[in-house]
Chain A
Amino acid sequence: IQLTQSPSFLSASVGDRVTITCRASQGVSSYLAWYQQKPGKAPKLLIFAASTLHSGVPSRFSGSESGTEFTLTISSLQPEDFATYYCQQLNTYPITFGQGTRLEIK
């Protein structure tokens, strides 16, 4: 299953609301997760089952799904949110990741 994220690069300011989209090439039910990765660090789980916030993740992060399209929304960007974000499908092996969305400070 291929996952296509858009955009690949996003420039935004502190306080902005941003949305990242992940489109699956076929249905994945709700077996879709989102991760945040900062340079030189391991990824961190943000959202699982398409819309459930992982423990300890700020509530400004949210996820939604509509068919094979999934979105990650950050309601009000904070300085620590500038990172690369990946979606992942766990519905079918091989597990696949999107290509990533790099979020940078404008």
Chain B
Amino acid sequence: QVQLVESGGGVVQPGGSLRLSCAASGFTFSSYGMHWVRQAPGKGLQWVAFIRYDGDEKYFADSVKGRFTVSRDNSKNTLFLQMNSLRPEDTSVYYCVKDRTLGATFGIGFDFWGQGTLVTVSS
């Protein structure tokens, strides 16, 4: 069965950095686009970033552009989110999410989500 397990969350000071990882299993990781979605405490869902199955196409939310980068290691079935220059408003649960559509940049839904990892940006 599909499993997405995030790690790397924690407490970081404003201006600091953090790297999230997502270990994927149960599907052909190298064939699917992957996303990061976040949710601030008590708030709604916000899409953060996308990386194509081969890593050659990436998109970011305006609020994180220039500060966050996304990458993947298809040989290790792992997705990453490098977060720099963190701000208090980045405090959220971060979800690793699989796109439903095989090999596409524009999918039709997010069919599997990890359990999320909490990032807290506070001094």
Contact = CB atoms under 8 A, between A and B. Distances in A.
A33 B35 CA distance: 15
B50 A45 contact: no
Given A42-B95, A42-B116, A48-B100, A90 B109 contact: yes
Contact of B113 (A43, A88, A95): A43
A95 B47 contact: yes
Contacts of B95: 42-43
Nearest to B44: A100
Contacts of A98: 44
Contacts of B47: 88, 94-97
Contacts of B62: 94
Interface residues of B, number: 22
Most buried by B among A93, A96, A97, A100: A93
Interface residues of A, number: 24
B45 A43 contact: yes
Contacts, number: 61
Interface string A77-95: 0000000001010110111
Interface in A55-74: none
B109 A93 contact: no
B106 A91 contact: yes
Most buried by B among A35, A44, A94, A96: A94
Contacts of B44: 86, 97-100
A30 B100 CA distance: 15
A4 to B, nearest CB: 12
Contacts of B100: 45, 48
B94 to A, nearest CB: 11
A88 to B, nearest CB: 8
Interface of A: 31, 33, 35, 37, 42-45, 47-49, 54, 86, 88, 90-91, 93-100
